[in-house]
Structure 1
Amino acid sequence: MTSTVIAERRTSIGAQRNPASQDAILKAAADILRETGLSGFSIEAVARRAHAGKPTIYRWWSSRAALLLDVYHDQKHVEPVPDTGTIESDLFAFVTALFDYWRDSEAGSIFRFVIAEAQSDATTSAALRAYMAERIDQTAELVRRARRRGEISADVDPELTIELLAGFAWSRLLTGRLDMEPQRLHQLIRQMVWGLKSRGNCGGDR
């Protein structure tokens, strides 16, 4: 394939994302983060590395934080719905993997930055809300599955349950307390699951 053909494939088509250009931009952004961290990350640096125009990047990602959120999601390898056989073990596995991911890579710093930017930038806030809504709906399958198994009350709201757990996780991330002892995390999850069971008679979905 000639360089001319490659260049044509990377051409932006209005507001629609060209897959080849998007991949090149996300790869360039990830490479810069690995090499320099957040301090060296900018739209200008990504544009140079990806051989893409700044207008193209800003048309697809309204801010640096919005691009970072896509890089964060693109690299995330945490299993959103682990299936260990019980909801207590499922939630423990999910939170443990999430804390490890945040602590052992640039991911924690990226997500903290996005959360901070969302407090003052409306476009970043909208991107974060959309991202979290999708993630909460996906991970809520853990709770739906537990309801079907009869482990918890049938009137438990799956999305609200995961949002409560996400609030705890965010608190730990934002205050630099990801090194939680497994026994303490087990205790928290156990108390949470006990509350889900205590809301009336347990039973599967109707």
Structure 2
Amino acid sequence: MAGPPISRGAGARQRVLRAALEVLDADGLAGFTMEAVARRAGASKATIYRHWSGTGPLLIDAMDATFRPFPTPDTGRLATDVAQILGAFVTLLENAPFPRLLAAFIDAAERDPTLAALHADLTRRRREPLLVVLARARDRGELPGRRSGTAHRPTHQPVLLPPLHRAPARPADPGRRRHRPGPASGQ
């Protein structure tokens, strides 16, 4: 649904970025075109192309514009601090199209190195408050510190942001055997 024609300036940019996210949410990556974004924003394609050379740069700017840092609480208790961060994450998941947008974005990032770099940066920024909270808890003695002479390997990362955007793999059917024709089979 297109609104009134887009004007120039910062307001126009925000309207295009919002329209880009709406198109991505409604139509997925396959429907994410400059034409669709222009139509949704009520802008001409020339206006869109004046600011972005293609869908990749537009998607990067649109996803980056959605980033809102989580709070970095400092209540003095690890459990309370982590609960506040997780509460902010749940609110994000419940009140925004974020999960659908992120799934489409990750799908695109697997094919585009520039999008992959932005995804890595957004993930790093999203994790930062929790890493700060964990470091403070370690400093207060709530978590064990590094042992002398051992390398630090963050064991919490797989728990923080598991790959939820992936559909679970289908279990193999034990009754079905793959047959590959080859020289031994005569095919």
TM-score (norm 2): 0.60
Q: Does 1:58 align with 2:76?
A: no
Measure how far apart 1:57 and its partner are.
Answer: 3.9
How far apart, CA to CA, are the structure 2 residues paired with 1:124 and 1:136? 18
2:64 touches 2:122 (CA, 8 Å); kept in 1?
Answer: no
TM-score (norm 1): 0.56
1:44 to 9, 29, 35: 35
Q: Which moved more, 1:20-29 or 1:140-149?
A: 20-29
CA offsets per residue over residues 22-59 of structure 1, 9 Å max, x none?
333224335x359x724465432333416362323424
Q: Does 1:130 align with 2:121?
A: yes
| Residue of structure 2 in register with 1:15 after alignment | none
| Residue of structure 2 in register with 1:163 after alignment | 157
How far apart, CA to CA, are the structure 2 residues paired with 1:113 and 1:129? 15
1:115 touches 1:128 (CA, 8 Å); kept in 2?
Answer: yes
Please tell me the residue identity of whatever aligns with 1:37.
A
How far apart, CA to CA, are the structure 2 residues paired with 1:115 and 1:163? 18
Q: Percent identity?
A: 20
| 1:129–1:50 Cα change, 3 Å | farther
Q: Paired residues, what number?
A: 154
| Residue of structure 2 in register with 1:70 after alignment | 64
Show structure 1 runs of 4+ deviating over 6 A: 156-159
Task: Identify unmatched segments of 5+ residues in structure 2.
Answer: 1-6, 169-187
What secondary structure sits across from 2:139 in the alignment? helix
How far apart, CA to CA, are the structure 1 residues paired with 2:27 and 2:87? 25
Task: Identify unmatched segments of 5+ residues in structure 1.
Answer: 1-5, 11-18, 177-206
Please tell me the residue identity of whatever aligns with 2:52.
Y
1:82 touches 1:93 (CA, 8 Å); kept in 2?
Answer: yes
After superposition, where does 1:8-47 map in structure 2 within 5 Å? 10=9, 19-30=10-21, 32=22, 37-39=26-28, 41-47=32-38
Structure in which a larger fraction of residues adopt helix = 1
